[in-house]
A = this chain, B = another copy of it.
Amino acid sequence: MTIKTEHLRDFKALLPENQWTEDQNIIAPHLSEWRDKFHGSTPLMLMPMSTADVQKILILANKAEVNLSIQGGNTGLVGGSTPGLENREEILVSLKKMSRVEAPCSDTMTITVEAGAILSTVHTEAEPYHFPLSLASEGSCTIGGTMATNAGGIHVIRYGTMRHLVAGIEAVLPDGTIFSNLGGLKKDNTGFDLQNLLIGSEGTLGIITKAKLKLFPKPNTLVTGWLSVHDIDKCLPLMNALQTLSNQGLHAFEVMGKTGLDFVEKHMAGKAPVSQLAPWSILFDIEIEGPDSLEKALAECLDSGAITDAVIAQNKAQQKALWALRENLSEAQKYEGGSIKHDISLPLEQLASFMKQAPHRIQSIVKGARPTPFGHFGDGNLHYNIMQPETMAKETFLNHWPEMNAAIHDLVCSMKGSISAEHGIGTLKREELALRHPEKVAAFKKIKAALDPKDILNKGRVI
């Protein structure tokens, strides 16, 4: 369906000339994303400067029945922010010009920012406080995008996902109603929780324009450690022991399989801090009073056989070197050919069982395929990647993607896990969500139809 010329004219008339463009050269970077999986199109990009601008856009979109695609930093991985997919015609609304960041408030330990602010800018502006959301894309992702997708990252074990870091929001609902909740109240029982409904709805139920974010004191010096573990069953008790020892002081607790670390050593000049890699390696950051107690506890774990090696970084350079091993896991896999990826989460008590069962399911589909799991074990979140067998053609292997996904997700769902832990649904996982959770999607559709009866906002995403 083509957007009528008169409607394009009306949208352009809403905003000053520097807040819209039809120049396809300027628009181009907004039409694809870094994995190069989704390619979209749009005749017009609008760049509101205020909540009032967003309101005007939504009111007109409803009147003209024109679809809108909402975009922050365009760093999503599931085709949520690309306009014009699936033969829709959509006007693109980019929040990037709404990027004001207020000074942090020390009385309330909060910072108020507009949706288009870049995450790393917020890190800087929050000084001397700490805004803990930390993502690989933090140099380009926006606060609005991290709210729309309830972003996760490395430090969820300590601070929770984005949802838990938001003290208040301002948003425009699909019909143009402004919902303003910027008081940052810690207690407010005046009806349904619209704020949490909007956070994580991937721009389908409203456009979040502003947020009051929670700040934290800068953590004390973190101790970084590496543990070798032979038995995956030991990981959860180890994590709980470290939490108890440090009064819930873990800031990260990552588990990595040997296969992936072998790739890092082979292709990325990485060097594990132990003479021989165990089947499982743990990397952790911990805030702890008196590191002696940590050393003592690890010595006991060595004695009991729970771990077979333990290394504590002695300085910043060593900390960085340990983290580089973890951070290079994704890159190193590229040298080994095709990879089928999963962004799953599991109840903590099911993680070990999953790790044991999944390889059998994989082998029954492609013999020789190599599971390369790693991830935020402390949050139950695994990036469960499966590398092609060494001798198979990449394309042949990748043709098994749907079958492999189905097998892994079957196992995940049988264990009450999630088929999208942190990346969201977007366009990519919409059909599978409907298949896996028809009861949830039925409720989502009712809520969407109630708040956005003309399906103006981010149509085709999530549901």
A positions within 8 Å CB-CB of B: 105-109, 149-150, 152, 156-157, 160-161, 163-164, 173, 177-179, 182-194, 196-197, 199-201, 205, 217, 220, 236-237, 240, 244, 247-248, 289, 345-349, 376, 379-381, 415-425, 429, 433, 436-437, 439-444, 446-447, 449-451, 462-463
CA distance A419 to B191 in the complex (A): 11
How distant is A251 from chain B, measured CB to nearest CB, in Å? 13
* Chain B minimum-CB-distance residue to A173: B443
**Are A422 and B189 in touch, CB under 8 angstroms?**
yes
Report copies per complex.
Answer: 2
**Are A345 and B419 in touch, CB under 8 angstroms?**
no
**Are A187 and B418 in touch, CB under 8 angstroms?**
yes
**Chain B residues, Cβ within 8 Å of A440:** 179, 190-191, 194
* Chain B minimum-CB-distance residue to A416: B183
**Are B423 and A179 in touch, CB under 8 angstroms?**
no
**Are B289 and A105 in touch, CB under 8 angstroms?**
no
Further contacts, 5 of them, CB under 8 A, given A150-B193, A183-B418, A190-B433: A150-B189, A191-B425, A192-B444, A193-B200, A217-B247
**Are B187 and A240 in touch, CB under 8 angstroms?**
no
**Are B179 and A443 in touch, CB under 8 angstroms?**
yes
- Contact partner of A348 (CB less than 8 A), chosen from B108, B348, B416, B462, is B108
**Are A446 and B450 in touch, CB under 8 angstroms?**
yes
**Chain B residues, Cβ within 8 Å of A442:** 177
CA distance A348 to B423 in the complex (A): 34
A-B contact pairs, 21 of them (CB 8 A): A108-B349, A109-B240, A161-B186, A164-B164, A179-B439, A182-B416, A183-B346, A183-B347, A183-B416, A185-B421, A186-B345, A188-B421, A190-B433, A190-B436, A191-B425, A192-B197, A192-B443, A192-B447, A192-B462, A196-B197, A446-B451
Given contacts A289-B289, A443-B179, A451-B447, contact A193 B185 (CB under 8 A): no
**Chain B residues, Cβ within 8 Å of A439:** 177-179
CA distance A226 to B325 in the complex (A): 51
A-B residue pairs, 7 tightest by C-beta: A183-B416, A450-B450, A196-B196, A188-B418, A446-B450, A187-B421, A186-B379
**Chain B residues, Cβ within 8 Å of A437:** 190-191
**Chain B residues, Cβ within 8 Å of A150:** 189, 193
Given contacts A236-B107, A379-B186, contact A200 B205 (CB under 8 A): no
* Chain B minimum-CB-distance residue to A437: B190
**Chain B residues, Cβ within 8 Å of A436:** 190
**Are B189 and A107 in touch, CB under 8 angstroms?**
no
**Are B244 and A189 in touch, CB under 8 angstroms?**
no
Given contacts A240-B106, A349-B108, A450-B450, contact A192 B183 (CB under 8 A): no
CA distance A179 to B418 in the complex (A): 14
CA distance A379 to B184 in the complex (A): 10
**Are A418 and B345 in touch, CB under 8 angstroms?**
no
- Contact partner of A189 (CB less than 8 A), chosen from B424, B443, B446, is B424
**Are B379 and A187 in touch, CB under 8 angstroms?**
yes
**Are A345 and B156 in touch, CB under 8 angstroms?**
no
**Are B345 and A184 in touch, CB under 8 angstroms?**
no
CA distance A327 to B173 in the complex (A): 43
* Chain B minimum-CB-distance residue to A348: B108
* Chain B minimum-CB-distance residue to A413: B183
